[in-house]
Amino acid sequence: MGARCLGVFSKVSTLKTMTVILDELLPSLGAMENDKKRQGTIEVVAHVIEQLGLDLVPFIVLLVVPVLGRMSDPNQAVRLTATHCFASLVRLMPLENGLRDSPALPLHLIEKKQKEKQFLEQLVDIKKLENYHVPVPIEAELRCYQQEGVNWLFFLNSYKLHGILCDDMGLGKTLQSICILAGDHFNRDQEYKVRVDQNVYVRVRLSKQPEENQVGALLYYMGGHVNEIFDALKLSDDDQKKFETVLASFTNRFIAVVWCSLVNV
């Protein structure tokens, strides 16, 4: 009911309502610890899209990136609603090109629109990605294509998106993954002002006591969503918090399926 009311408000007083939604409500799409917050927020977005129609065009860029990130949400309700919202937004996006920003639009939202437009340009043209420097020592020299892979992973990680590294064996997918994992953990430690030493090591651990200055990782061979893995291992909430990375293999699930054909590219 609340989501429907906000949808109607957006039709009656578009600028004021959208400013509140964008500033106060939309950040809740990133509340990974609370499914209900994400469900409620994406429902608001869905009703706003339904109510505004073409009047939504000036705000599309500000909505499309957060919605895109929720298309891979672990919660099915959020994921499906986000997918429908994204499909509606994409149809309207061509109308946004060349459209001038309203003088009444707050300055911080205008600046955010420019940033989101840059993201969309990078999304469709990988050559526009910035070169990512891994902030921790890596005892290896990245080759050109490996650096491009790390740049792509950093870009996806920056916007809470997911991707797959896919090439022949031995070309450095593991190295690229380690680079972005180590860099992400370092940056998060800096963001939350947690002291870390200069060196960060990535090591697969089966122990429930991660050593100091290492990325605590859990290796699990059955695959599945991280919550399914924790449930299968019957780990308590305190034990779950000790693992920062979960490495899951889907080999057993792959073998269990009777495939009609396999295509090697």
Q: Is there a single domain that holds both residue 152 and residue 65?
A: no
β-pairing, 217-220 with 245-248?
Answer: parallel
Q: Tokens at residue 235, please?
A: 């780990």
Q: Is there a single domain that holds both residue 3 and residue 79?
A: yes
Per the structure, the complete domain to which residue 209 belongs is given by 128-249
**Contact criterion met (CB below 8 Å) for 3 and 46:** yes
7 occurs within a structural domain: yes
Q: Is there a single domain that holds both residue 111 and residue 153?
A: no
Q: Is there a single domain that holds both residue 175 and residue 106?
A: no
Q: Is there a single domain that holds both residue 98 and residue 196?
A: no
Q: Is there a single domain that holds both residue 120 and residue 15?
A: yes
Q: Is there a single domain that holds both residue 48 and residue 113?
A: yes
Q: Is there a single domain that holds both residue 100 and residue 175?
A: no
Q: What is the DSSP string of 142-175?
A: --HHHHHHHHHHHHHHHTT--------TTSSHHH
Q: What is the pLDDT along the chain (265 residues), one digit of tens a residue?
A: 788 898 888 888 888 888 888 888 888 888 888 889 999 999 999 999 998 888 888 888 888 888 988 888 888 999 999 999 999 988 888 887 777 777 778 888 888 888 888 777 777 777 778 888 888 888 778 888 888 888 888 888 877 777 777 777 778 888 888 888 888 888 777 765 544 343 433 333 333 344 444 445 444 444 455 566 666 667 777 776 666 666 666 666 666 666 665 555 4
Give pTM, 2 decimals: 0.59
Q: Is there a single domain that holds both residue 94 and residue 133?
A: no
